[in-house]
Amino acid sequence: MDKKYQNRRDFIKHLAMTGSAVALAASPWLGAFGSSAQSVRGANDMVRMAIIGTGSRGCELLRHLLTFSVAQNIRIVALCDNYNPHLLDAVKLCKEKELNPQSYADYRVMIEKEQLDAVIIATPLYCHAQITVDCLQTGLHVFCEKSMARTLEQTKWMYDTHIATNKILQIGHQRLFNPVYLEGMQRIHDGKLGTIGQIRAYWHRNNNWRRSLPNNDLSYERQINWRLYKEYSAGLLTELMSHQIQVANWALQKTPVSVMGTGSIRYWNDGREVNDNIALIYSYDDGTQFVYDSMTSNKKYGLEEQILGSTGTIEFEVNKQYLETPAAAPGIQQLINDVEHGIFDKLPIGGASWVPETAVNYKGENIVDSTNYMDTSLQLEAFTQFVRKGSAPEKILKEGYNASIWTMLGEIAIEKGEKLSMPKEFII
Ligand SMILES: NC(=O)c1ccc[n+]([C@@H]2O[C@H](COP(=O)([O-])OP(=O)(O)OC[C@H]3O[C@@H](n4cnc5c(N)ncnc54)[C@H](O)[C@@H]3O)[C@@H](O)[C@H]2O)c1
């Protein structure tokens, strides 16, 4: 197994063993790595998996799986996609590893015919629910990509089916397995940032989000560019924000009590139906707010989740923690900093000759040592461990469920121009 990957697993295992009870209650899936140190597994603990939807993300998940499938005794039994070029991409990835899974265009035929323990679903959002429910009802454990489902009702339907069938349903929020987030969340949950007053998050891009069509054939438009049409996706909300509301809920150990928002097609007026520009405010019962925006016509600020506490700040995406009042730099360092920043030039004649302010140079501390996080591999390995065990911590699904419900409520709040709370039939 790749050494960096092994280091990441060991890091999570270490967190699981040393974390406080408070922190472990917030991230109970950490335990998945407690017993996974062994690298050789027996024949009778093989996990037989298939992938449904082998487009961009499905192939990425397959690439990750293939890096540890031998060590973790995972057999990729079958691949399924109803668009043949994407199916062939996945077949090719397997062939490069001398694997020969069966190919299917119809997942119903596949789950009927193949002996499987679990499926990985990476189809467009609008069909997550139907495929998930069919697979759970066939007795399979399911890993389904985020966002969980296209509507509130579908999200609840998936959850209820998971309860009724007693099969695992894990949603693809890989930050739950990211060492930076795990370590940062431990600090937040242990009170190291003081009182969290606000969480600010954003995801900014500068591109049209379009994929090219085979031979420029417009009949493929909705199939390939499903993200741009409301029937299939809520655009920036489901594709991007769903990850970040999940981070906010996880940090606060709560779900919101209300959401309001606005949105528009401001720049990419090209026939798309979803907004290219959104801003929302989620409120929590203790007064904390999650303030969010996303756009696709400016990328200067990229993406971030900023956890703003009374004694410190965390910026997860750049692996940084900042103290509100950092220790003063040693005198000579401070002098160099001040000279470099021309502070003395701005001082009035006869004014103070020394400026103790160094915050401008304070770059914070790294949360973990390196940025090679491999969270997608770690979440798939955890899923495999859960499948082998037959169960997963319920909280992991609740993270995906609540992110999906509040993402959908955000969409409705924008459309209606209203402040909304969670209808009680969706509380779990
Ligand atoms: N976790 C992440 O960071 C992350 C990143 C990217 C995408 N995603 C999620 O992954 C999912 C897929 O996104 P994508 O970018 O790979 O889209 P995509 O369009 O590239 O791939 C989807 C694939 O599903 C196939 N498909 C559609 N209906 C099907 C059906 N009924 N049976 C079998 N195959 C079917 C399509 O032909 C296509 O190949 C989305 O839910 C998306 O939000 C998650």
Is residue 145 in contact with ligand 1, taking CB distance under 6 Å? yes
Pairwise pLDDT comparison (91 vs 29), residue with the higher score: 91
Whole-number Å distance, alpha carbon 53 to ligand 1 midpoint, is 6
The answer, yes or no, to whether any atom of ligand 1 lies below 6 A from the CB of 107, is: yes
On whether both 136 and 203 belong to a single domain, the answer is: no
Residue 224 makes CB contacts below 8 A (sequence gap 6+) with: 211, 212, 213, 214
Alpha helices in 27-170 (DSSP H): 56-68, 84-95, 107-113, 128-137, 152-165
Q: Do residues 183 and 196 share a domain?
A: yes
Both 222 and 320 in one domain: the answer is yes
Pairing mode of beta strands 118-121, 47-52: parallel
pLDDT in tens, 146-183: 999 999 999 999 999 999 999 999 999 999 999 999 99
CA distance 408 to 48: 33
pLDDT digits (tens, 9 = 90+) for 322-333: 999 887 766 666
In a domain, 397, yes or no: no
Closest CA to 167 of 127, 126, 138, 129: 138
Residue 144 has pLDDT above 80, yes or no: yes
Structural domains in the chain (count): 3
Q: Which residue has the tokens 């756009």?
A: 295
- Give pLDDT, residue 258: 98
Q: Indicate whether 92 and 162 sit together in one domain.
A: yes
Which is more confident, 73 or 6? 73
The preferred substitution site among 57, 142, 231, 242 for testing ligand 1, maximizing ligand atoms within 8 Å of CB, is 57
Region 68-96: mean pLDDT is: 97
State pLDDT tens for residues 118-132: 999 999 999 999 999
Establish if 42 belongs to a structural domain: yes
pLDDT for the residue numbered 361: 67
pLDDT of residue 369: 84
Q: Which residue has the higher pLDDT, 403 or 18?
A: 403
Is 321 in contact with 365 (CB distance < 8 Å)?
Answer: yes
Report CA(384)–ligand 1 centroid distance (Å).
Answer: 21
Return all residues near 184 (Cβ < 8 A) that are at least 6 apart. Answer: 307, 314, 316, 321, 367
Residues 338-371 pLDDT 10s? 666 555 444 444 444 445 554 556 789 999 987 6
Question: Is residue 30 situated within a structural domain?
Answer: yes
Residues 44 and 191 in one domain: no
Q: Which of 56, 61, 108, 134 to mutate to test the pocket of ligand 1 (most atoms within 8 A of CB)?
A: 56
pLDDT per position as a tens digit, 261-313: 999 999 999 999 999 999 999 999 999 999 999 999 999 999 999 999 999 99
CA dihedral angle for residue 306, residue 308, residue 309, residue 311, rounded to 10 degrees: 90
What's 307's domain CATH number? 3.30.360.10
212 and 352 inside one domain = no
| Model pLDDT for residues 29-76, shown as the tens digit of each residue | 887 776 544 444 666 799 999 999 999 999 999 999 999 999 999 999
pLDDT in tens, 177-190: 999 999 999 999 99
Asked whether residue 26 is domain-assigned, the answer is: yes
Tell whether 68 and 49 lie within a shared domain. Answer: yes
Asked if the model's pLDDT at residue 373 lies above 90, the reply is no
CATH number at residue 81: 3.40.50.720
Domain membership of residue 340 as a residue range = 331-361
For residue 398, tell me if it sits in a domain: no
- Give the pLDDT of residue 346: 47
Straight-line distance from the first to the last Cα atom of the chain, in angstroms, rounded to the nearest whole number: 39
Residues 139 and 27 occupy one common structural domain: yes
Asked if residue 339 and residue 315 are part of one domain, the reply reads no
pLDDT in tens, 210-255: 999 999 999 999 999 999 999 999 999 999 999 999 999 999 999 9
186-199 mean pLDDT: 97
Of 60, 63, 81, best ligand 1 pocket probe by most atoms within 8 Å of the beta carbon: 81
> In this structure, are 199 and 249 located in the same domain?
yes
In a domain, 419, yes or no: yes
295 shares its domain with 217: yes
- Identify whether 268 is part of a domain: yes
Same domain flag for 74 and 130: yes
Q: Which pTM does this prediction carry?
A: 0.92
Whether residue 399 lies inside any domain: the answer is no
pLDDT at 334: 64
